[in-house]
Amino acid sequence: MWLLYSGGFPLDQDGMPHPMNPPGGHYGMTFQKIQLLRVESPRTAHGSD
């Protein structure tokens, strides 16, 4: 799966650049390959009636 986003990283009020978050971003279009992980629900204990 691909994540596509655009980041504009202007200077802050003191003229310093903002840190890039997420890492790998830049000014312009960014493609990041991602993988979604499945979170399994907690299993119920068998025989705990």
What totals of helices (H) and strands (E) does the chain contain, helices first?
0, 2
- At 35 the pLDDT is 93
Residues 27 and 8: beta-carbon distance below 8 Å: yes
Better-scored residue on pLDDT, 49 or 24: 24
- At 1 the pLDDT is 92
Q: What is the DSSP string of 1-49?
A: -EEEEEE---B-TTSPBPPPSSTT--BEEEEEE--PPPPPPPPPPTT--
The separation between CA 4 and the C-alpha centre of its own chain, rounded to angstroms, equals 11
Better-scored residue on pLDDT, 6 or 33: 33
Position 14 pLDDT exceeds 70: yes
Tokens of 31: 């493609």
pTM of the model: 0.41
